[in-house]
A and B are shown apart, each in its own frame.
Chain A
């Protein structure tokens, strides 16, 4: 049943399979998602651009999140007030209103959802107003999906596991709040950058993270970008070396020079 629903969703959500390029009928989506058996955090994705929404939903869904979508201001308002979400990914420019007003609405109703603003509006005061209005993070468009996934993961962790926040993947265990990692109880000495890189990889297990995404994650979007990825290569190399030296299997694989994938169950 779940599989069937998933398939019908995929047909709905992937417009290249759809002759008639209408907007996603968001009203029918929640039922579909809730009935998915995947045990996951419930997210609300507020975004008016169907293609973008399709990619985000598809990516996050594979990360075992339960995604509901809203494509207009009114839909978003209705959903965020009716239901409780772990995290709301909020676009600011919406048909029917300003995303910042939705934040005010959330504050007024004391809804305890984590909010990540994704906006094409890069104005600094938008960012500040957003964060002042209780948003937890601000991710300017265009963003990388692994980055969004990592931000959501970080937000969920922050909101749920105060103090102890342990990630266990195979032999690798990571204490996120203490910023410590170990392989089979043997502690790893990772630099700040290597730890950030590890978190990005862990938040996107089994997915290919492109070099660009890693570079932006490590440098931030203010840094002047080079066409070369020396930084990415160097840090991935160091992290891999430290993991294998501590006896971990070869978790991090390069994918045809495009990027890297963290495989929790490496074949060899």
Chain B
């Protein structure tokens, strides 16, 4: 549930509780006030009646006559002095509406001509109850309007007030660590968002700087290796030209040549990875993937023969074009094929299957599945790594696939059959 929806729900919950409870409380409150008012009126009338009793009324017949004129005034003769004055609500038949309606009654002890009476003063609550209902209705309506208004206001206000937050969120969702331009967050006047944005900018730009520094470091390190390697290579090239080179000396030079070769391959791979990570510009062209695979398979023919591998290739006849950098596609294909040859078993099989959507390179190999999550790790350690491999081939393949939105995955198809699949589209 979104933040705004969540606050609205809580707001509504609170509002409905307050509305329900509030209506009762409000009703009770208004009723109390009204009763106080009615009771005061009744008390004043009682004073007047007591006054009248003293000054104008002579006989008990007068009292009965009064009651006949005004039903809301009644004198009940008592034998003993009655209880003190008390208010009560009672139901009584009303002639005007023809049914029993509630009355507020003040019962007070009075003396008339030395004899105790109970004076009952009444006023009907019929209209006042309607009035009360109307007042409560009006109150509820007011409350409702207030609630709806508040909801609408809150909705628009929060939408406006939280706009910088959602902008920042959007920026963060689009943010990539390897992007080159620093994060730009929209300016805002709200201090909290200002602080949030500045904190985020600080953290992210710092991360980005560290990331780029690391990438630069890799690139520079690999780069700085090239010149010493070039010297090493050319010196070795000169060394093998020396006249009178003995077999023993040659035996010492050969491993040096191999190691230099490996170092060169390693530093080139690192450079390529650094460039792929930095998303350096690799010009795109239309590349026939099938043709690239055919060429690379041709290049590897001797390697296949040496390992006594059977090649099964399908779907390489029609052209299958992708828009990509030719060198990168060649490296991708070369790495996948070399990998399948390196990890093969003598007398095994290399299957290359190309469909319009997918390239599958399958090889026979160890009779157990490989840990898929570790295969594409740079400098993958472990017993799976054959000698001579620098452990970057698959990492590079994955990075190239990422560059072009291809999906590279490992599958253990059948016992002893491993495959790498590239989803092209």
Contact partner of B264 (CB less than 8 A), chosen from A124, A142, A219, A222, is A142
Contact of B202 with A by CB under 8 A: no
Beta-carbon contact of A230 and B240 below 8 Å:
no
Contact code string B299-312 (vs A, CB < 8 Å = 1, else 0): 10011011000000
Contact code string A172-206 (vs B, CB < 8 Å = 1, else 0): 00000000000000000000000000000000000
Contact of A143 with B by CB under 8 A: yes
If A52-B230, A212-B257 touch, does A59 touch B325 (CB 8 Å cutoff)? no
Inter-chain CA distance A143–B337, complex, in Å, is 25
Contact partner of B240 (CB less than 8 A), chosen from A51, A124, A208, is A208
Among A49, A210, A213, A218, max chain B CB count under 10 A is at A210
Inter-chain CA distance A255–B245, complex, in Å, is 9
Name the residue of chain A whose CB is nearest to the CB of B228. Answer: A142
Among B236, B261, B299, max chain A CB count under 10 A is at B261
Name the residue of chain B whose CB is nearest to the CB of A210. Answer: B257
Residues of B within 8 A of A226 (CB): 303, 338, 341-342, 388
Among A52, A56, A140, A142, max chain B CB count under 10 A is at A142
Contact partner of A122 (CB less than 8 A), chosen from B237, B253, B275, B331, is B275
Beta-carbon contact of B271 and A143 below 8 Å:
no
Binding site secondary structure of chain B: helix
Beta-carbon contact of B237 and A224 below 8 Å:
no
Residues of B within 8 A of A140 (CB): 226, 268
Contact partner of B231 (CB less than 8 A), chosen from A55, A210, A224, is A55
**Closest CB-CB distance, A10 to chain B, in whole Å?**
12
Contact of B283 with A by CB under 8 A: yes
If A208-B241, A228-B306, A258-B253 touch, does A124 touch B283 (CB 8 Å cutoff)? yes
Contact of B10 with A by CB under 8 A: no
Contact partner of A55 (CB less than 8 A), chosen from B234, B254, B272, is B234
Contact partner of A230 (CB less than 8 A), chosen from B251, B306, B393, is B306
Beta-carbon contact of B268 and A210 below 8 Å:
no
**Closest CB-CB distance, B240 to chain A, in whole Å?**
4
Residues of A within 8 A of B206 (CB): none
Beta-carbon contact of B257 and A58 below 8 Å:
no
Contact of B216 with A by CB under 8 A: no
Among B227, B237, B305, max chain A CB count under 10 A is at B237
Contact of A99 with B by CB under 8 A: no
If A226-B338, A227-B258, A230-B306 touch, does A259 touch B240 (CB 8 Å cutoff)? yes
Contact of B48 with A by CB under 8 A: no
Beta-carbon contact of B236 and A210 below 8 Å:
yes
Name the residue of chain A whose CB is nearest to the CB of B282. Answer: A124
Contact of A96 with B by CB under 8 A: no
Residues of A within 8 A of B245 (CB): 255-256
Residues of B within 8 A of A255 (CB): 240, 245, 250
Binding site for B on A (CB under 8 A): 49, 51-52, 55-56, 58-59, 62, 120-125, 128, 140-146, 207-208, 210-213, 218-219, 221-228, 230-231, 233-235, 255-259
10 pairs from A and B in contact (CB 8 Å cutoff): A51-B231, A59-B237, A124-B325, A142-B233, A142-B234, A142-B260, A208-B241, A222-B334, A227-B388, A258-B257
